[in-house]
Amino acid sequence: MSLQIWFQKLTALLLVGMVSISAPSFAQTDFIVEYESGMTATSPRTTAPAKPHSPFAVDHYIELDRPLDFGEHFWDESFARASGARGSAQIVVDLAAEQLYVYRAGIEIARTRITRGWEEYDTPTGVFPILEKDADHYSGTYNNAPMPYNLRLTWKGVAIHGAEVDSLSATHGCIGVPLEFARKLFANVHKGDKVLVTRNWRPEVY
């Protein structure tokens, strides 16, 4: 074999090796998602293991190009579906960040800003089962106020429901989310599913 032919074959082999090394795997590829609000998100990033005894495991989180504003949300299950994630949605509410996160099998699929209770009506923390679901609920305590897509967390009136979400509004302890987000959340959870309400959720990630 001549030196020139040998050199050409070696060069070809090296090029093939470089392509196979540099080609990203499915999990590494960024598939940019555009939302109506104009923000973008990339495929979920792998997160560090949760602390021992954490109520919910989080394996991947969505990386947004900017923080959510009040009234904004995203819901994107493409990565979870591609990963074969199954099971009910898991909800985490961070009162300090005023955000709600939704996961499926440890993969973040949704996020939104919330409105919550303050001072004597502060929203309680803890792990709560969804006690009731009522898509067309009206408050029996607060002047028959509409609480669409209501997910009751306590028998004392604390729930997640559709509401006006802005920097000025507050609730009497409930967790208000944008109406469209409330509709999607209502369709993805079941009675008995657990909701974690906490403060400073995963600060190393969010």
pLDDT at 48: 61
Is 3 strand, coil or helix? Answer: helix
Q: Mean pLDDT, to the nearest integer, of 156-160?
A: 93
- Burial of 42 per CB tally in 10 Å (0-12, 13-18, 19+): middle
What is the pLDDT, as a whole number, of residue 40? 73
Query: Which amino acid does the sequence have at 199?
Result: R
Across 51-60, 97-106, 184-193, least confident range: 51-60
pLDDT over 60 at 13, yes or no: no
Of 104, 76, 57, 105, the residue nearest 202 (C-alpha): 57
pLDDT band for 57, please (50, 70, 90 cuts).
confident
pLDDT tens, residue by residue, 187-196? 999 999 999 9
State yes or no: pLDDT of 174 exceeds 80. yes
CA 51 – CA 44 distance, rounded (Å):
20
Largest CA distance in the chain: 92
Whole-structure pTM value: 0.77
Judged against a pLDDT cut of 80, whether residue 76 lies above it is answered with: yes
pLDDT at 117 over 50: yes
CA-to-CA distance for 150 and 174, rounded, in angstroms? Answer: 10
Average pLDDT on 100-108 reads: 95
For 23, the token pair is 């080609």
Cα angle 139, 141, 146; round to 5? 20
Query: Residue 58: which residues within 8 A CB-CB, separation 6 or more?
Result: 47, 50, 103, 106, 108, 202, 205
Report strand pairing: 89-94 vs 194-198: parallel
pLDDT band at 103 (very low <50, low <70, confident <90, very high): very high
For the chain, what is the mean pLDDT?
A: 80
Report residue 96: phi and psi, to 5°: -70, -45
Mean pLDDT of 167-172: 86
**H or E segment and range at residue 132:** strand 132-138
More confident call, 83 vs 17: 83
Token pair belonging to 154: 């306590």
In percent, the amount of the chain with pLDDT more than 70 equals 74
